[in-house]
Structure 1
């Protein structure tokens, strides 16, 4: 297992190098002038040029890249010009909000998608099967920002059931004592049920938005994998041996269908990290996605580069976790690796 982890980490080095190089070059060719933006519309060309020299933007690209890599080697992601804080500090402060929202949406989708996919495969051609296809098609077809705006319109503006989509807590609640950075977990750990209910009410709509986006591929792959396994010879043998239908489906069929489902979970989680950017803007969620968008609008390079690098590291860690999960589900995969 340790050898597998070491091999996977070695193969991620070229990917990280590529992310660093491409992200640096893209931020330099994007339209907009950082110095002109922060100098203001009334600034003189001399003032803009002075700011450009102070930021080091007047130097050749190879020299700028060398300085950037040297700073990365020291763990310095640069300083945000929009917030005035180090990018690493901003990411640490905002990443828990994005992670909580992403995990909440993923858990919601799993609670619905996996039972729906299993039931649709077991009862092929039934109403549940048709409902699974409709849900999968709808989830793929609806853009995530449209789903969010639709939920806000219905449940906040029309029905008044949901609180205002203005962040992680309403104005009458205070954040719980920080333990994990996840308000739901920290409020429960502190025994503060009022804050827990307030945090749950705020995360419900954005979480459901992400869950609808993630539900479609998970339900579809679960159904397809279960159909393939249920048609196998060993399933017919298990049924002929007199095992109960629940034992055959859950213990034998679903266990063998888990590998493609786990693979899909990894891809869906990476998609959710990207969808977070839109959802956070719709719901004014103070995560890293909205932080990166605001920096991009202001042509603030350092936060954008830090955001992309952080997402790349999360994606690599997720793929490593998936590889380890393969070994737990089917030890033959670990030995083959």
Structure 2
């Protein structure tokens, strides 16, 4: 146990250079963006003197090196700066909006797992069948179709044509009241409050954006599940288990799928990170009040602090997800070392 704790600590230390690199790159790239935030906030009719005063108030009249050390000093104290577009601290904005993004991401990933893993297993056990061709079709569609196109298509079909889905405007319809804040996840908080009406209202709003993300995530998960199962089914230990007369369910579940789950679990970590990035477009299409839509608004306004806070939050989430996957791999298979 002590050895694993040391190894986890080593992984955390190895992640520090990556986080530092993200801080530097995000700082430089945000200042390389076209547009001047001083002009944006001074107004289009402002004169040069007013713009200069705004630039000085924002600290943009200093050199990049001075601005970077001021930013990192504030960062170490937990201050991500003030969002110029909303007038609130960036950390408060991120913590307020993060539950909405996480709820959408978890819903999309969960939907993708429920469809992709059984589909990949069935496709591997029946190569060349119609279900194998269906798996390939869904994988191709998930890879080829952009998330914003999928979202607009689902919205047009189920909301505009069929009228089955509610208006795609946020996390809950205007006739319902958000549940009391506990976790920030509307589905969880409504269940904790015992309010099934709010739960169903939140779930209906979540279905279309989650399906959009789910189709995007389905492709790599189904493809990896199929490939890993085909590799496991052709291995010596599976052939030996079949030769010993073990039941088909035992061979598939205990021997084949358990070994195939390792690369699938690794893929889930990467897919989760990709979904956090794909949230940006999906949230904008469905007016979802998450950190993705906040980042786009900040980018348009050249809001440096907000953009840097968003990039840093995504980088930290990526590090946490990958560390969690490493730990889970050792639980599933002790042969896997954390260094791998």
How many pairs align?
A: 337
Candidates 284, 288, 302, aligned match of 1:285:
288
Candidates 204, 207, 222, aligned match of 1:201:
204
Candidates 295, 313, 317, aligned match of 2:298:
295
Correspondence for 1:14: 17
1:165 Cα offset (Å): 0.5
For 2:335, what is the secondary structure of its paired residue?
helix
For 1:177, what is the secondary structure of its paired residue?
coil
Correspondence for 1:2: 5
Distance 1:129 1:70 in 2: 55
Q: 1:4 touches 1:334 (CA, 8 Å); kept in 2?
A: no
Q: Hey, which bits of structure 1, 4+ residues long, moved more than 4 A?
A: none
Distance 1:304 1:68 in 2: 13
Q: 2:7 touches 2:338 (CA, 8 Å); kept in 1?
A: no
5+ long unaligned stretches in structure 1: none
1:336 Cα offset (Å): 6.8
Candidates 248, 264, 269, aligned match of 1:245:
248
Candidates 118, 128, 150, aligned match of 1:147:
150
Correspondence for 1:178: 181
Correspondence for 1:63: 66
1:274 Cα offset (Å): 0.8
Distance 1:336 1:323 in 2: 8
Correspondence for 2:259: 256
Structure 1 residues 119-161: Cα deviation after superposition (integer angstroms, max 9, x where no partner): 1101111111111111111110101100000000000111110
Structure 1 residues 302-332: Cα deviation after superposition (integer angstroms, max 9, x where no partner): 1100000000000000010010011011101
Tell me the TM-score normalised to structure 1 length. 0.99
Cα RMSD over matched residues? 0.9
Structure 1 residues 148-204: Cα deviation after superposition (integer angstroms, max 9, x where no partner): 000000001111100111000000111111111110011111110000000000000
Q: 2:327 touches 2:338 (CA, 8 Å); kept in 1?
A: no
Correspondence for 2:94: 91
5+ long unaligned stretches in structure 2: none
1:334 Cα offset (Å): 2.7
Distance 1:201 1:160 in 2: 12
Instruction: Return closer, same or farther for 1:11/1:257 CA change in 2, 3 Å cut-off.
Output: same
Correspondence for 1:211: 214
Distance 2:325 2:257 in 1: 17
1:335 Cα offset (Å): 7.1
Q: 1:177 touches 1:187 (CA, 8 Å); kept in 2?
A: yes
Candidates 234, 237, 240, aligned match of 1:234:
237
Distance 2:21 2:93 in 1: 24
User: Is 1:26 matched up with 2:4?
Assistant: no
Q: 2:105 touches 2:213 (CA, 8 Å); kept in 1?
A: yes
Candidates 275, 281, 285, aligned match of 1:272:
275
Instruction: Return closer, same or farther for 1:336/1:23 CA change in 2, 3 Å cut-off.
Output: closer
Tell me the TM-score normalised to structure 2 length. 0.98
Structure 1 residues 241-285: Cα deviation after superposition (integer angstroms, max 9, x where no partner): 121111110111000001110111111111101100000000000
Distance 2:338 2:69 in 1: 41
Correspondence for 1:330: 333
For 2:337, what is the secondary structure of its paired residue?
helix
